[in-house]
Amino acid sequence: MSTAALWLTIVAIGIGTFVLRFSFIGLSGRMALPVAMTRALRFVPAAVLSAIILPAALRMPGGGIDPSLDNPRLIACLVAAGIAWMTKSVLATLAVGMGTLWLLQALL
Amino acid sequence: MKPAIGDYIDGLRAMLPLLPGAVPFGMIAGAVAAEAKFGAAAGIGQSVLIYAGASQLAATQLVAEAAPALIIVLTGLVINLRFAMYSASLAPHFAGLTLRRRALLAYLMTDQSYALTVSRYGADGTADAATKARFYLGGGIAMWIVWLGATAAGFMLGSRVPPSWSLDFFVPLSFLALLVPGIRDRATATAAATGAIIAVVATSLAFNLGLFVAAACGIAAGYLAETWCKKKEDAR
């Protein structure tokens, strides 16, 4: 990506994100979100984050997908998910997940 | 009456325990930007212009994968859709403030500043909009400074790390750390599981469209699961 295109992309996300943040605050309570919309928006983080995580965890260095337990990234993600569940700590999740990946890469 | 500065300090104090959690995220956002060959200005500038960790990380990863710009922008915005929900929830608290003030409040919106303000003033009908805004800003400005500092530090360190360290793996890991505590009931779990499975099945779709299909299916599945669980409860 060229430098100009990169900046344009960043600025576009920045403006769009500000519009999302400002939307209802900008209207100053003159409009409310429909109930169905609020209910649906609650699931956005879970749906989007997991849709990014699993393909990234299964992706092989050369491209393509490896859903087997020989894939060190998958193992490391499973371990990290367990740690995140138990500790709810960002730092512990990152440290154990990354440590597991490095360990498996060194062993395999 | 308490002086105005006290409200800022209250907000800062409430935010303090949440600041350390933002440091690794910010550093990773900076480090992966360095790895994706962003210049220093773009790598750190995105923290000012976008100021939203998950969307910065996702966008950076897509830049590294050479995805089309439109897809990168849409992905970054889909992740930030939750801000519209926060905005709707905060709007009554900040009604009556000047447009400039409200624009500043909107710019500084984070998961943390939203959660703190709503949990503090959600049930309290006595505080006025100006007080709430000062509380929100006290924590929000601190978070902005920490985020910027962490991104800059991560950028400087990240550009010195060799590729064999697989720093890009920090991206799914950070998302895991965000995702897992957010799964509080069967409906959110259904949304997450559906999103993940469809995303893998749909990886062959061009232009990263699989992500959007997966997100839409996940949101729909969560919504339906919630409706279904509620019906079952009502039937009891």
- Torsion sign across C-alpha atoms B43, B47, B50, B55: positive
More confident residue, B227 or B21: B227
pLDDT at site B208:
67
By residue range, what is the domain housing residue A54?
A: 33-107
Chain B residues whose CB is inside 8 A of the A48 CB are: 78-79, 195, 211, 215, 218
CB neighbour list of residue B118: distance below 8 Å, 6 or more residues apart = B89, B90, B93
Instruction: Indicate the DSSP class of residue B123.
Output: S
CB neighbour list of residue B65: distance below 8 Å, 6 or more residues apart = B208
Q: Is there a domain that residue A57 lies in? A: yes
CA atoms of B202 and B196, how far apart (whole Å) = 10
CB nearest B180 (choices: A29, A84, A94): A84
Q: Is there a domain that residue A19 lies in? A: no
pLDDT at site A91:
84
Can you spell out the DSSP letters for A15-46? HHHHHHHHHHHHHTTSS---HHHHHHHTTHHH
Taking residues A25-45, what's their average pLDDT? 80
- Residue position matching structure tokens 């403006």: A15
SS3 B1: coil
CB nearest A10 (choices: B45, B171, B200): B45
Tens of pLDDT, residue by residue over B120-142, are: 887 667 889 999 999 999 999 99
Q: Is there a domain that residue A26 lies in? A: no
Q: Is there a domain that residue A58 lies in? A: yes
Reported pTM: 0.81
Task: Please tell me the least confidently modeled range out of A2-11, A89-98, B154-163.
Answer: B154-163
Chain A residues whose CB is inside 8 A of the B50 CB are: 10, 13-14, 17
Question: How far apart, in Å, do the first and last CA atoms of chain B sit?
Answer: 51
CA atoms of B9 and B11, how far apart (whole Å) = 5
CB nearest B102 (choices: A17, A25, A76): A25
CB atoms within 10 A of CB B30: 31
Q: Contact at 8 Å (CB) between A52 and B172?
A: yes
Which of A41, A52, A65, A93 to mutate to test binding with chain B, by most B CBs within 10 Å of its CB? A52
Instruction: Please report the number of interchain residue pairs, chain A to chain B, with beta-carbon separation below 8 angstroms.
Output: 272
Kindly report each contact of residues B199-203 with a partner whose C-beta sits within 8 Å and lies 24 or more positions away, as own/partner. B199/A50, B199/A51, B199/A52, B199/A54, B199/A55, B200/A54, B200/A55, B200/A58, B200/A65, B200/A67, B203/A55, B203/A65
Domain tally, chain A: 1
ipTM: 0.85
CB atoms within 10 A of CB A108: 9
SS3 A63: coil
Q: Is there a domain that residue A61 lies in? A: yes
Q: Is there a domain that residue A60 lies in? A: yes
Chain B residues whose CB is inside 8 A of the A65 CB are: 200, 203
Chain A residues whose CB is inside 8 A of the B55 CB are: 13, 17
Task: Please tell me the least confidently modeled range out of A48-57, A94-103, B182-191.
Answer: A48-57
With CB atoms and an 8 Å threshold, state whether B80 touches A16: yes
CA atoms of B218 and B197, how far apart (whole Å) = 9
Q: Is there a domain that residue A100 lies in? A: yes
Residue B217 pLDDT level (bands cut at 50, 70, 90): very high
pLDDT at site B198:
95
CA atoms of B79 and B184, how far apart (whole Å) = 19
With CB atoms and an 8 Å threshold, state whether B176 touches A38: no
Residue B118 pLDDT level (bands cut at 50, 70, 90): confident
Nearest CA in chain B to A67: B200
- What is the least distance, in Å, from the CA of A50 to any CA of chain B? 5
